[in-house]
A and B are shown apart, each in its own frame.
Chain A
Amino acid sequence: MPPKAAKSEYIETDTGNKISRRSQIHGTQHIILGGKTVIQAEAVIRGDLYRQPSTATSLDGSNPAPAPHAPSVAITVGRYSYISKSAVLRPPSRLHRGVHSYYPLKIGDHVFVGELAVIEAASLGNHVHVGTGAMVGSMAIVKDYAVILDGAVVPPGMVVPSWCVVGGRPARIVGEVGEGYGVEGAEGGMARERYRLVGKPQ
């Protein structure tokens, strides 16, 4: 007897998010997906690393009691963003006043995160492209229309300005993208097309 073929690879939510059943998403109540987001198989999204509401007493409590108010958001992902296979999204963390605490990770619209990339940035702007195997360090800020080349290691706390291309280990600004970057359908503007093709039979 063949296995149930009806179950498709992707769960499609009301807002159009396409989430692979083989992805690993932790702490879903701390994750906001903007809609039409694609999360591919084996992607790891660590929503459980959210900021503890009380910084002082968080260490003693064995169970992180659910906050009385709304749960703090660990990861926000915008529309038409694409998290490729085996990518890792981890909220950034920092030692502040002797306490190690997590900060929210914000990902904008039309963002592409390549395979095996690790994102610990504080924010990725809109139309950001993160190449395959790239690593974006803790509390880095990647502005809109920035491109991170394959295999780049963006050091912690780096700011990547808009329209810049960074690459290397540690990443440096190696160039700029053209003015037409991000135009719908062109390089940097393929997000809608990418979304449409997900989950369609070949």
Chain B
Amino acid sequence: MSRPFPYTFISCPCADTPVPDPARTRRSRESPRKPTAEPPTDPDHHKSNTQQADEVGQSDEEDDEQTFDPRSPRSNFSLYPPEQLLYCEDCHQIKCPRCITEEIVSWYCPNCLFETPSSMVRSDGGRCGRNCFNCPICTAPLTVSTIESVTGNASGHGPWVLSCGYCMWTTLDLGIKFDKPTNIRAQLQKMTDSTPATGYDARSRQGSRAFADLKSPLSNFASIDEQSTATEREAEREASNEDASSIPQLGAEARFAALKNFYRTQISETSNSPNDPLSSEFGFSSPGALNRLMSLYASSSRLSGLYGGNKKQKSKPPVMREALTAAEGLRIGSGDSDTAIIERIVSPECGWDGVASMSQRTDQSPDVRFVDELLPLPALLRTKRAKRCRSCKHILVKPETKPQSTRFRIRLIALSYIPLPTLRPLAQPAMSPVTPTASTPDLNALSPLRTYHVLLTLKNHMFDPVRITLATPSVTPGSVATKVTVLCPQFEIGANSDVWDEALQNATAPLSDRISSMRGGEKVPEAGKVWEKGRNWTTVVLEVVPGTLPGMNTEDGETEAEPGKALTLQNDEDILEIPVFVHMEWDAEAQLEQQNVGKASKPDDLVARELAYWMVLGVGRIQPY
């Protein structure tokens, strides 16, 4: 989601952890000045500060890795909006979605909001087992409605259909009607498997029994030639059978089940030793299967020369066969089915619209090619997930299991620990004769080389007062060099108090606002002074001078926009993003194990804490002229 200006992102420190480069740290130690703006001491320090800023800007060039660059490809993976970040109380660190692990608390259907027990999730294929379906054409949810509802008589019975309220598709397009409005998924399954479920079971069992006779001699002789001929013969017989009936025997799901069933019985029957690993439930994917295959290759290579005359029957592993009948899951494609499909695609009544799109086909059976073969899709389940810190495994977020509940048992979000940054432009006083009245600048069109004042409010959600130090590179990284000065880089934010105090505060808030708005005309941002301060928030001013975009000529005052040059701007170079380094310190109540450590300098139960991170302030877009 792109956000409108102004926005703030916070960089999770995890992006920097895997790059411990000793050379880099040494260089930073040697560098004469840190890129942090010094705390101004006197009112006219501001001017000298900007001068310093220029110098720092020079020395900054080689120090570039030290400051955070919001445009570097790496920062794509560390910048998050504040509300997405968590905080681990044990690591004392911000945690982003990359430094947590998730585990599923519950599964639920997003449509009916019913929880699916985790034992049912697999058998249902991760989809809702009730009445929730998505339209195969447009993915909108389908509603169960009766055909008779229009006429008004006898609602409550009559055939039911699934209909899409978005694209007006109904299951009537497939000729599917349901007898009752409940348990649609089972009804649909029964319809799409052309053989009824009970009959299929009996037949498959019967079929495998019939072929068990065939199988036992095969596994004894284990002659590949014989088996293949037998297979061919069998296949021909089957094919002729199928031609006679010319109906596909099983639906896709039933065929899959049949094949699975068939292979399982094959494995159990061809394994002659009772402790053969393949006979176990794990099947081919178990490590025992590899053993078996290895021994098979080893024996065959040793005996390859005297294959026919081999007398060691015992060392020879039995050979499995493939599915032979439709009941076992065999399906033989007819040769002209492809041409039939092509003819149908070409035919005028099918056309472009009649062919299912790739996205429509992804969730369907692989044979489906046309729109009128698409079946309604049961709604995919969603999950509620608990989140753990990746390094210390402590739970950071644990939602309640009930799908409808929005509450959490545990929720350690970063916003309860780090101050919430909000950004807002300060109304411009009459800077030039062109704009005589104060007006809030248009953040989507910041004019270059003009001084803007931006108010950065940090709101503390902790119950301890916090000391903040802000630092910015004096010139923003990237090809557009914008000068940034934090007018008051060091300040305190008061403690958050309980809700009742806040309510009282809110009652008086409009008053203070009115005062500030009254004074807004004459209030001038001053270096070293906090702009405004509330109970648990503090506002400071950032002075921003947007740089000129590359390809603009501003030397002689007249600006020219060259369309060709403007195109050379790399993507979003004109967006003004300011990296700000935030360092916060506070005295927290010590937890049990830390009491001994921090007792030397602090009173009994207080321990000094600090946290530092980068954030990025998206101020606006620089106007290209």
**Chain A interface residues (CB < 8 Å from chain B):** 95-99, 137-138, 143-145, 149, 153, 155-165, 170, 172-173, 175, 177-183, 185-188, 192, 196, 200-202
Contacts and interface: CB of A to CB of B under 8 A. Distances in A.
Contact of B510 (A156, A162, A196): A196
Contact of A173 (B110, B153, B506): B110
B406 A162 contact: yes
Interface of B: 1, 80-86, 108, 110-113, 138-141, 143, 149-153, 155, 164-167, 382, 387, 397, 403-404, 406, 408, 411, 413-415, 420, 422, 427, 439-440, 459, 461, 506, 509-510, 513, 517
A185 B459 contact: yes
A179 B414 CA distance: 9
B373 to A, nearest CB: 21
A163 B406 contact: yes
B1 A172 contact: no
B85 A180 contact: yes
Nearest to B502: A184
B143 A157 contact: yes
B413 A157 contact: no
Contact of A98 (B81, B149, B427): B149
Contacts of B513: 196, 200
Contact of B83 (A95, A96, A138, A186): A186
A164 B110 contact: yes
Given A137-B165, A156-B166, 20 more contacts: A95-B149, A97-B149, A97-B152, A98-B150, A157-B141, A159-B110, A159-B111, A159-B141, A161-B403, A164-B382, A170-B167, A177-B84, A178-B413, A179-B408, A182-B83, A183-B415, A185-B459, A186-B83, A192-B506, A202-B440
A196 B338 CA distance: 67
Contact of B139 (A172, A178, A200, A201): A172
A179 B150 contact: no
B140 A181 contact: no
Contact of B152 (A98, A149, A157, A165): A98
B519 to A, nearest CB: 14
Contacts of A179: 83-84, 86, 387, 397, 408, 411, 413
B83 A181 contact: yes
Contacts, number: 116
Contact of B413 (A137, A183, A201): A183
Contacts of A156: 143, 165-166
A179 B151 CA distance: 48
Contacts of B403: 161
A192 B143 CA distance: 37
Nearest to B7: A187
A182 B506 CA distance: 18
A98 B155 CA distance: 9
Nearest to B413: A180
Contacts of A187: 81-83
A65 B418 CA distance: 58
A150 to B, nearest CB: 9
A35 B152 CA distance: 41
A16 B152 CA distance: 45
B459 A178 contact: no
A188 B382 CA distance: 22
